[in-house]
Chains A and B, each alone.
Chain A
């Protein structure tokens, strides 16, 4: 019963490097999203998707790209990492029918940008 799977768990980057954070879910959820958690800031929405081929920006989208080619996967790309992107990143998914408001979260990726 995997749920939402994120890889890697930890990553250290140098400023300017690029990388992709992977997220996969096996619950056939249409809605997927990425959040970042910073001390004193709570969980802030980066990007989200309501289905394959459909993505939109959240509260803090700058510096991040996403795509949704399948229902299962929703990768988050950092094209040129900056120290301000040091954070813990969470992927989350949910169904879109009535009563499906509960988000399921992955275990997170801790990213440090030096």
Chain B
């Protein structure tokens, strides 16, 4: 049973426009959410995160929105650049005890066209 879902395997946008990547989760115990970016032949790298006590976190061109009631989060990239072309993974974790595991979605391949 997939607890973190990224239903769009791929997304293509024009340079300068907004990219919106979506993620849904089913486990109500998740309270911390992260986005990772992965280029081919490299390991995933951390991009941005959000705690469940917030509904928005912004870092430069990247903003993550969290809707707890809908169990949905999204990553907005504005403006999109060709260098943003990569696979983006949504991940979630719970807190408390030794619950340090991150559960990942299947990823969304973003292509930004010049």
Binding site for B on A (CB under 8 A): 4, 31, 33, 35, 40-45, 48, 50, 58, 90, 92, 94, 96, 101-108
Contacts and interface: CB of A to CB of B under 8 A. Distances in A.
Interface of B: 6, 9, 32, 34, 36, 41-46, 49, 89, 91, 93, 98, 100-107
B34 A102 contact: yes
29 contacts: A4-B43, A33-B101, A42-B6, A43-B89, A43-B91, A43-B104, A43-B107, A45-B101, A48-B100, A50-B100, A58-B101, A90-B43, A90-B44, A92-B43, A94-B100, A96-B100, A101-B32, A101-B49, A101-B93, A101-B102, A102-B46, A103-B46, A103-B91, A103-B102, A104-B46, A105-B36, A105-B44, A107-B41, A108-B43
Contacts of B103: 45
